[in-house]
């Protein structure tokens, strides 16, 4: 049976221009799929028209809405996400997939070291002489960086060296002190102390060998002022030798967040498309600069050339046939434009409602109540569509299957999946339960009974879904004019 199907382009829904172009009969080899979860999923085809018309669609087509309509019913709806144009033997590409027009960075913020000679390169440290005067020298026999380490030889307890003196610190700020050492003998004490005499942190090391010593001042410290940092021997008799190198004292690593940087012009055209950059240790200035640099690169689609160019365009290439291939995505893809914003534990259906309410492209919603408690973690930044996939996979408290998708009219529908047989598969053809051949363009995901499947014994499970003659058609693909493929759920 020849389908009565129309394919039409409409203006980007961020604008209000209405109908854009009739593609019926000009979009060749059109095929598209429907999935659960997901709803209208992806589609692609080859557009055949005059060269100038193809150029126009190539440059202005991203974001245009594509509707497949059969018998007055919207059987697929999405928007153009990629375009490939063959021109003179060269394939050019434009895509919405790399576009990001709202960027922020999550990073680890840390200050520079407050020590002026922690690496032992610019001279010997000042002696700590509570128990006498030690010998302090720059030493090359052991080091972890640079040319020298600092070698301290004590003859009695209470001898050592100042690593830093009169270093200003702030209240309610965490600080970290690190130093690499090689202890040859004795027990060594490391101290961070305010000039008032209050010790903020200390550590005693009573083993020889190489190690890193770390002291930490909590952000709970309420006192500001100047601190001295030193080490001294405390072992029996006090005599001892130690080498020190690469000492640092700085504000401790704390989480940093630049906040959002936006290209509002791009958002007006394509909607808000977010990305969160997760970086390592960097300064706030560097994180802010990185976010804005990436935003400038990704806010707008580019016309991408092929990977390699011919050094000479031949007449044969210029005579090659022109063509324009388009790919479209259902509006489910726009759910991943944003990250989930409301963490915590709540009813599953409440989380689905929150996602739908925050989604820019959801025009309507039909959400069935599901009281299963589900936790959304705030530390892990999850895109809304991916989180919705995880949510629907959790089912409900009675372990039932649930479905979710974006359908005609950009409606998000979430509900318990019916257990009834939707189709019967017999001798390579798909029928509805009344025995009528299913029109390929009308097929959707659902339970399929395999009439021809062998069954040598009765299955023992009381769950009807365990019947080996049943499969769940998770994805249905239609290719014009009348080809239908369905893919069973992968377990």
With a cut of 80, say whether residue 308 has pLDDT above it.
no
Helix (H, G, I), strand (E, B) or coil at 311: coil
With a cut of 80, say whether residue 388 has pLDDT above it.
yes
Tens of pLDDT, residue by residue over 214-270, are 999 998 999 999 999 999 999 888 999 999 999 999 998 888 899 999 999 999 999
What the block records as the tokens of 75 is: 């059987």
Are 9 and 62 in contact, with CB atoms under 8 Å apart?
Answer: no
Strand partners, 478: 32, 484
Indicate the number of domains in the chain.
5
Angle, helix 348-358 to helix 384-393, in steps of 10 degrees: 160
Of 61 and 469, the one with more pLDDT: 61
Confidence of residue 464 (pLDDT cuts 50, 70, 90): confident
Same domain, 374 and 322: no
Tens of pLDDT, residue by residue over 396-438, are 999 999 999 999 999 999 999 999 999 999 998 999 999 999 9
Of 4 and 246, the one with more pLDDT: 246
Rounded Cα distance, 6 and 325, in Å: 18
Same domain, 376 and 456: no
Rounded Cα distance, 102 and 271, in Å: 10
Q: Is 120 among the domain residues?
A: no
pLDDT over 90 for what percent of the chain? 77
Strand partners, 149: 139
What the block records as the tokens of 475 is: 């994805």
Q: Which residues of 28-62 are buried (b: 16+ CB within 10 A; e: fewer)?
A: eebebbbbbbbbbbbbbbebbbeeeebeebbeebb
Same domain, 361 and 466: no
Helix (H, G, I), strand (E, B) or coil at 241: strand
Range of the domain at 307: 5-97+301-332
Rounded Cα distance, 272 and 339, in Å: 11
pLDDT at residue 2 in the model: 57
Same domain, 208 and 228: yes
**Strand residue runs (E) in 252-343:** 254-257, 261-262, 274-282, 323-330
Same domain, 277 and 360: no
Mean pLDDT, the chain, whole residue set: 91
Tens of pLDDT, residue by residue over 185-201, are 999 999 999 999 999 99
Rounded Cα distance, 334 and 355, in Å: 11
Q: Is 466 among the domain residues?
A: yes
How many Å is the maximal CA-CA distance in the chain? Answer: 103
Rounded Cα distance, 52 and 55, in Å: 5
| Concatenated DSSP letters of 405-422 | EEEGGGEEEEEEPP-SEE
Strand partners, 428: none
Rounded Cα distance, 477 and 347, in Å: 33
pLDDT at residue 196 in the model: 92
Are 115 and 247 in contact, with CB atoms under 8 Å apart?
Answer: yes
Q: Is 118 among the domain residues?
A: no
Same domain, 327 and 442: no
**In degrees rounded to 5, what are phi and psi of residue 112?**
-75, 160
Rounded Cα distance, 175 and 194, in Å: 13
Same domain, 130 and 247: yes
325: how many CB neighbours lie within 10 A of its CB?
A: 17
User: Which residues contact residue 321 at a Cβ distance below 8 angstroms, ignoring those fewer than 6 apart?
Assistant: 86
With a cut of 60, say whether residue 319 has pLDDT above it.
no
Helices and strands in the chain, H and E counts: 6, 32
Q: Is 165 among the domain residues?
A: yes
Label the pairing between strands 175-185 and 209-217: antiparallel
What the block records as the tokens of 327 is: 């790919």
Same domain, 346 and 370: yes
With a cut of 90, say whether residue 49 has pLDDT above it.
no
Same domain, 246 and 137: yes
Rounded Cα distance, 190 and 455, in Å: 77
Same domain, 66 and 137: no
Same domain, 445 and 367: no
What the block records as the tokens of 244 is: 């020190």
| Concatenated DSSP letters of 1-43 | ----EEEEEE--TTS---EEEE-TTTEEEEEEEEETTEEEEEE
pLDDT at residue 317 in the model: 43
């Amino acid at each position: 049976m020849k389908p009565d199907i129309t394919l039409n382009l409409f203006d980007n829904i961020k604008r209000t221009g209405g109908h854009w172009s009739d593609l019926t009969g000009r979009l060749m080899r059109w095929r598209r799929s429907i999935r659960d979860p997901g709803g209208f999923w992806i589609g692609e085809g080859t557009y055949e028209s005059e060269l100038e018309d193809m150029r126009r669609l190539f440059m202005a087509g991203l974001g245009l809405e594509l509707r497949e309509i059969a018998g007055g019913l919207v059987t697929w709806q999405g928007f153009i996400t990629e375009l490939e144009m063959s021109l003179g033997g060269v394939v050019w590409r434009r895509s919405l997939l790399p576009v990001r027009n709202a960027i922020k960075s999550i990073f680890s913020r840390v200050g520079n070291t407050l020590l002026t000679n922690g690496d032992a390169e610019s001279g010997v440290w000042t002696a700590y002489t509570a128990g006498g005067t030690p010998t302090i020298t720059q030493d090359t026999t052991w080091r972890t960086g640079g040319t020298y380490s600092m070698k301290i030889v004590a003859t009695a307890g209470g001898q050592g060296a100042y690593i830093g003196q009169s270093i200003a610190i702030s209240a309610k700020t965490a600080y970290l002190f690190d130093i690499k050492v090689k202890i040859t003998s004795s027990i060594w004490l490391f101290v961070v102390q305010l000039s008032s005499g209050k010790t903020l942190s200390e550590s005693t090391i009573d083993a020889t060998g190489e190690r890193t010593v770390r002291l930490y001042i909590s952000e709970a410290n309420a006192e500001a002022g100047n601190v001295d940092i030193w080490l001294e021997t405390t072992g029996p008799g006090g005599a001892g030798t130690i080498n020190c190198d690469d000492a640092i004292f700085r504000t401790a690593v704390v989480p940093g967040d630049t906040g959002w940087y936006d290209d509002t012009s791009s958002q007006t055209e394509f909607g808000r498309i977010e990305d969160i950059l997760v970086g390592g240790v960097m300064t706030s200035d560097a994180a802010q600069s990185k976010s804005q640099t990436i935003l400038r690169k990704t806010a707008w689609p580019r016309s991408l050339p092929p990977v390699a160019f011919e050094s000479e365009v031949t007449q044969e290439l210029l005579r090659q046939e022109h063509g324009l291939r388009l790919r479209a995505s259902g509006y489910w893809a726009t759910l991943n434009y944003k990250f989930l914003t409301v963490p915590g534990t709540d009813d599953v259906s409440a989380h689905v409602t929150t996602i739908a309410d925050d989604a820019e492209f959801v025009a309507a919603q039909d959400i069935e109540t599901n009281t299963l408690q589900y936790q959304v973690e705030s530390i892990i930044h999850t895109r809304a569509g991916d989180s919705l996939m995880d949510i629907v996979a959790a089912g409900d408290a009675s372990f039932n299957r649930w479905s979710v998708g974006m359908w005609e009219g950009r409606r998000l529908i979430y509900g318990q999946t019916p257990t009834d047989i939707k189709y019967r598969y017999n001798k390579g053809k798909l029928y509805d339960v009344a025995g009528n051949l299913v029109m390929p363009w009308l097929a959707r995901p659902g339970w399929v009974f395999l009439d021809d499947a062998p069954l040598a014994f009765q299955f023992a499970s009381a769950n009807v879904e365990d019947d080996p003659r049943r499969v769940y058609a998770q994805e249905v693909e239609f290719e014009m004019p009348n080809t239908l493929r369905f893919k069973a759920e992968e377990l």
